[in-house]
Structure 1
Amino acid sequence: MTQIAEFEELRPLLFGIAYRILGSVSEAEDAVQESWLRLASSPTQPRSTKAFLSTVVTRISIDVLRSARIRREEYIGPWFPEPLLTDPYKDPERSAELAESLSMAALLLLERLTPLERAAFVLREVFGFDFAEVASTVGRSEAACRQLVVRARRHMDDGRPRFEADRKERDQLAARFFDALREGDVEGVRQLLATDVQLAGDSGGKAPRWGKGIIGADRVARVLIAAFPWFVRIGGTLEPHEVNGQPGAVTRDRDGKVFNTFALDVLDGRIQTIRSVINPDKLGHVGPVADAWAVIREVNQTRRLQLGRGN
């Protein structure tokens, strides 16, 4: 197998590692590309291409994460990972486990870890590297890596949400939710929400946002129904889509440009959390991005005109 063929075969794994460490599609893609450049420019052929590339992409990701943390501390409003619609790392036998490690909730828990803890946890707990491989990859002893993973696992277990196990039931609930949202059925939406549901959005100060979040089934239902049916009236669309391994959707303006994404956390037959990413800087990989401010202005104008006419 040629060097480039080996790289292409390993690309999904490398992206999976980098994305889970960084929470950014664009930064993960850059890390993967840099790992290829380093392989291609290496004066010697590594004994194991997988070990070489895994080490390079992990160490690049650790370095990028360290600098990114400073920017995230200054971020306006809630920070969410860039939405991932399709995980290129396919492993049917572990699909549920891998999907959970991709969820917005899991990635936000990973934000609590140090960069080394995060890398060690991802390599060991998500991708099944043995401790000798983890140690070689992150440049620490096996004993140190065991401690990193123990600490990381403790943090993750303390905050880990327990999502609905039945994927079919979960997806059916999400479909009912999005149908009610399109139709402006406030009671239909409310019935699908947990009492203490939270609605939060990541705008980065570059698009409309919901402050620090909205909590409670009544308030969340009212806020969503106050805007969404009018969004549909001006030509907006909603496409149900798995987002970060969980039920979700992509919304688009009348020209097909991406307005935002939704990701839902489902537990005990109710929606517990709704996370929206509307920051245009985080949506470019999904498709051409809409002008969110212009869309909201048109929604508000349409609502005022129609309500003023009694429609």
Structure 2
Amino acid sequence: MSKVEEFEELRSLLFSIAYRILGSVSEAEDAVQEAWLRFDASPTRPESTKAFLSATVTRIAIDVLRSARVRREAYTGPWFPEPLLSDPYQDPARSVELADSVSMAALLLLERLSPLERAVFLLREVFGFGFDEVASAVGRSEAACRQLLVRARKHMEAGRPRFEADRQERQELATRFFDALRDGDVGGLQSLLAADVQMVGDGGGKAPQLARAIVGAQNVARLLGSVFPLLIRIDVTWEAREINGQPGAVFRDREGKVLHVMVLDVLDGRIQAIRSVINPDKLAHVGPVADAWAVDREVRRARRQTSHGSTTASPASYVMGKSK
């Protein structure tokens, strides 16, 4: 088998490791490409190509994460991972671990870990690598990796997210949510939300975003029920998609360009959190990106027309824009 063929067989695994470490599709793809370049340039063939490439992409991702953390400290507003529409790596023996670890809630929880803890936790707990493979990948002894794993588990278990186990029930609830959203049915929306539901958006200062989290079923339902009929009025559409292993949707402007992505956390038959990624830098891999500022201005005009010249802030300012 050629080097190219060996690499292509492992590409999906390498991407999945890198994405979970970095929370970025674009950076994960770059890490995988760099791993290939190092593999291709190596004058000898490793005893285990999987071990070599997994270790290589892990070390690259750790280095990128260390520099990325400095940037995230100065990030404008909440930071969310780049949305992942599908995980290319599948392993039936570890399907639960893989699904749990790719959710936005889990990826945000991983942010509590140091880069080394994060890598050790993912390689061991999610991908099932042996401690000898983990130690080789992160450049630490097996004993040190065991200690890193203990610390990582403590952090993760303290805030580990739980989700609706029944995928069909979760999808049915999401369908009811988006139907109520389309109809502007405030009562219907409120009945689907947990009492302490939170809605928050990530615009990164490069698109309109929530100035603060909106908390509480009544507040969130009222806001959503007033905003989305206006979006429909200006020809915004959305399609239901599974995003990071959870129910969600991709929203597009009238030209079909990606406006934002919404993800729902579901537990105990209720929506616990609604997260929107609006930062255009995090949406380019989904498709051509819309001008969210222009859409926000159009929504505000539609709002003023509907309210006959009212000067109150558009409710879109809380979903896509800045609150006043």
Structure 2 letter corresponding to 1:73: E
Query: Would you say how many aligned residue pairs link Structure 1 and Structure 2?
Result: 310
Deviations 1:2-46 (A, max 9, x none): 110110110000000000000000000000000000011111111
Correspondence 1:230 to 2:249: no
Alignment of 1:206-285 (within 5 A): 206-285=206-285
Structure 1 letter corresponding to 2:73: E
Q: Distance in 1 between matches of 2:206 and 2:218?
A: 27
Q: Distance in 2 between matches of 1:218 and 1:95?
A: 36
Q: Distance in 1 between matches of 2:255 and 2:92?
A: 36
Partner-residue secondary structure (3-state), 1:247: strand
Deviations 1:100-131 (A, max 9, x none): 10000000010000000000001000000010
* 8 Å Cα contact 2:97-2:125 kept in structure 1: no
Q: Could you tell me which runs of 5 or more consecutive residues in structure 2 were left unpaired when the two chains were aligned.
A: 310-324
1:129 alignment partner in structure 2:
129
Q: Distance in 2 between matches of 1:127 and 1:171?
A: 26
Q: Distance in 2 between matches of 1:57 and 1:267?
A: 34
Partner-residue secondary structure (3-state), 1:259: strand
- Runs (4 or more) in structure 1 with deviation over 3 Å come to none
Q: Could you tell me which runs of 5 or more consecutive residues in structure 1 were left unpaired when the two chains were aligned.
A: none
TM superposition shift of 1:208: 1.2
Deviations 1:36-62 (A, max 9, x none): 000111111111111111111000000
* 8 Å Cα contact 1:78-1:212 kept in structure 2: no
Partner-residue secondary structure (3-state), 1:163: coil
Alignment of 1:56-95 (within 5 A): 56-95=56-95
1:119 alignment partner in structure 2:
119
2:289 alignment partner in structure 1:
289
Query: What is the alpha-carbon root mean square deviation over aligned residues?
Result: 1.2
Deviations 1:176-217 (A, max 9, x none): 001100111111111100000000100001111111311111
Q: Distance in 2 between matches of 1:91 and 1:247?
A: 21
Partner-residue secondary structure (3-state), 1:196: strand
Q: Distance in 1 between matches of 2:298 and 2:93?
A: 46
TM normalised by structure 1 equals 0.98
Q: Which shifted more, 6-15 or 300-309?
A: 300-309
